[in-house]
Amino acid sequence: MRPWKVEFEEFVRARSHALLRYGLVLTGSADDAADLVQEALVKLSSSWRRVRSKDDPEGYVRTIMARQHVSWWRRRRLEHLTAEVPSPVHEDEHELGEIWRRLRALPARQRTVLVLRYYEDLADAEIAARLGISQATVRSQASRALATLRVRADALTGRWR
């Protein structure tokens, strides 16, 4: 049997870009995405053998990332409010910027549900399992988030860009 560290490192090298992509749509910042991926991988490294034997380390990491993101966001939103947060959207991308701003304005759990449904393509039952909430909550969070996105939710005044 190969040492766990070799297996783990191979997994990280093979999957880190996909995880960074997922981290970026969750957090909106390349820096937070890298932080989130590293944090989840540290947790994975501690339980590598157990998770590896079930053959789904990536699902495990993505679950940690989704849950960790919701809990970090609660701690960090005040920091972000007064910091200049770089956007992955370029200044001249009118429509994409608008969608992204509205998405970023959603509460973290609603936003995470949308990312899992429309980026990860997960069914509501899978989203419920990943976030540790009921399917009814997934449905209500998703419909509330979509309703907010359909109306203009961004402020014209006094809002950080």
Task: Restricting to residues 46-105, name those near another protein by CB under 8 A.
Answer: 46, 75-76, 78-92, 94-100, 103
Contact 111, 145 (CB under 8 A): yes
Are the C-beta atoms of 34 and 20 separated by less than 8 Å? Answer: yes
If we measure between CA atoms, which residue out of 100, 118, 21 comes closest to residue 61? 21
Structural contact between residues 29 and 73, judged by C-beta atoms closer than 8 angstroms: no
Task: List the structure tokens of 74.
Answer: 């609660």
Residue 50 CB, nearest distance to another protein (Å)?
A: 16
Site for another protein in 132-151 (CB under 8 A): 146, 148-151
Least spacing, CB of residue 135 vs another protein, in Å: 18
Q: Binding residue for another protein (CB under 8 A) from 7, 38, 124, 129?
A: 38
Residues 102-121 touching another protein, rule: CB under 8 A, are 103, 114-115, 118-119
Asked if 117 contacts 103 with a C-beta cutoff of 8 angstroms, the reply is: no
Judged by CB under 8 A, the residue of 4, 14, 42, 123 near another protein is 42
161 binds another protein (CB under 8 A): yes
